[in-house]
Amino acid sequence: MSDEIRLAVAGLGTVGAGVVDLLDRNGGPIAARAGRRLSVAAVCARDRAKDRGVDLAGADWHDDPVAMAGAGGHDIFVELIGGAGGPAKAAVEAALAAGKHVVTANKALIAEHGAALAAQADAAGVALAFEAGVAGGIPIVKAMREGLAGNRIGRVVGILNGTCNYILTDMRHSGRRFEEVLTEAQDLGYAEADPRFDVDGIDAAHKLAILTSLAFGVAVDFAGVSIAGIRKVTPVDIAFAEELDYRIKLLGIGALTDSGIEQCVEPCMVRRDSPLGAVDGVYNAVTVQADAAEDTTYEGRGAGAGPTASAVVADIVDIARGRVLPAFGIPAGALEPLQRADVEARRGAFYVRLIVRDRPGVMADIAAALRDERVSLENVFQRGRAPDDAVPVVLTTHEGGEAALKRALVRIGGLETVLEEPCLIRIEDS
C-alpha cells in the first residue's frame, strides 16, 4: 500500500481553496488519522493567475476537469465545481469510469443523479462520498449511514439552509421585512446575488432528498419534494409566532407515513424551547427520530470554507483508511423506489394569517368556510385597527386534514373583504 494518497481537486473557489488550506494547515494530524500522507497532485480552475491564498506550486494544472478526472496520477477525485449537470457530472462520471474514488460537496448533483452515480461507484468498487453536500460541517451523513445503522428511522427534520435561517432570525430580532433583511444578507455575503436557490427552498430540498434516501433506504427523489420558500413570511407572522411560544424556521421534513414517504420543505412553526427552535443565525441542525436511539439532534455551521472543507477532508480520510461504504448505506441496487406519500392525506395543526377589511360579518364568513370543511380552530386573534381598515386576523387549528384547510382557504381568499392571499404555516410539535 502506498504511503501517499494523491488528490485531484476540481474547483478552487471558497471550498476548494479551503480544502487545500486545511490539508496544508493540519497536514500532520490529518496524515496520522488517515494512516498516509495526503497531497494535492492536480487542480483544475478557470483562472490560473488568481491568488487564492494557498500554495499550489506542487500541483499539475488542468483546464478540463473531465480530462483531469480520467487521467492518471491521482487516487481520489474531489469535485467542488457545483451544479447538477454540466462539467461537474461529466467529471464525476469520468472519474468513476477510471476507477477513481470520488469526494464531492455537490448536493444538487447527488440529489438529482445520486442513484445512478452510486450504482456506477458500486460497479467500479470505489467510493462516492458526499458528507460535505448536506449541512456543511455537521457529520450527518456519517451519523445516519453508520452511527444509526442499527435503527429504523421514522422521521428526519432539519434546518438545512443557513441563509434562510439567518434571514428569519434577523427578522425576529429587528422586526424588518424579508426584502430588507435579504438585501443586507447579500451585502454581508450570507446570500447570493441571485438568492432564489436559497430563499425559495431549492437548496434545502436537495439536501432533504439525500437525507431521505439515507434514512429510508430508497432512491433519491428530488422531484418528489414539495417545496415552499420564505418570501411570504412577514414580521406579523414572526411576532404572532413569538406570542404563541413558537419560532418560524424553514424545515426540510422526510417522514415515513401510512401512504408512503413524505418529503417537504416549507416554513414551519417550532417550539421556542425545542432543539430546532433554539438554532439561530447561519447555523443548521438536523433531528433524526429513530426507534432505538430515539431523537438525536446535530447542529453546526452549514456552509462556509472551514466547515465544508472539514467534511470533504473527513471523507478523504475515510477513503485513505480503506473505509469504502455504499454511498447511501446499502448497495445502490438495493435502494427501493421511493413511494411518494399521498399529499391529500397529510394531517397537522396550522397557523393561518389573513389580512381583512375591518367590517361586520367578516369573521362569520371566515368561520362558515372553515365549518363547511370541518376545520376545528384552537385560537383566533385580531389585533388593532389600521388607517385603511386593513387588520391581520390569525387562526390556529387543531390537528386536521391539510387538504380540507386549503379548500377552505381558497374560498376565504375569494372573499371581497380578504385583501391578501392567506398565509398558511405548518405547526411542528413532533
User: Would you tell me the crossing angle of helices 162-174 and 235-243 to the nearest 10 degrees?
Assistant: 80
**127-161 tens-digit pLDDT:** 999 999 999 899 999 999 999 999 999 999 999 99
**284-298 tens-digit pLDDT:** 999 999 999 999 999
Mean pLDDT, rounded, for 395-405: 95
Q: Answer whether residue 385 shows pLDDT above 80.
A: no
Taking a C-beta distance cutoff of 8 angstroms, is the pair 110, 117 a contact?
A: yes
Mean pLDDT, rounded, for 314-321: 97
pTM of model > 0.85: yes
Q: Answer whether residue 82 shows pLDDT above 60.
A: yes
> What percentage of residues in the chain have a pLDDT greater than 70?
98
Q: What is the pLDDT of residue 303?
A: 83
Q: What is the pLDDT of residue 201?
A: 97
User: One of 100, 107, 142, 207 is an active-site residue; which one?
Assistant: 207
Q: Answer whether residue 394 shows pLDDT above 80.
A: yes
List the Cα angle 381/227/264 in 5-degree steps. Answer: 80
Q: Is 207 one of the catalytic residues?
A: yes
What's the chain's average pLDDT? Answer: 94
Mean pLDDT, rounded, for 199-216: 97
What structural domains does the chain harbor? Answer: 4-137+308-334 (3.40.50.720), 140-301 (3.30.360.10), 346-428 (3.30.70.260)
Instruction: Give residue 430's pLDDT band: very low, low, confident or very high (50, 70, 90).
Output: low
Beta bridge pairs of residue 350: 426
Q: Answer whether residue 304 shows pLDDT above 90.
A: no
Q: What is the pLDDT of residue 1?
A: 47
64-77 core/surface letters (b: 16 or more CB in 10 A; e: else)? ebbebbbbeebbbb
Mean pLDDT, rounded, for 80-85: 94
Strands 101-104 and 76-79: parallel
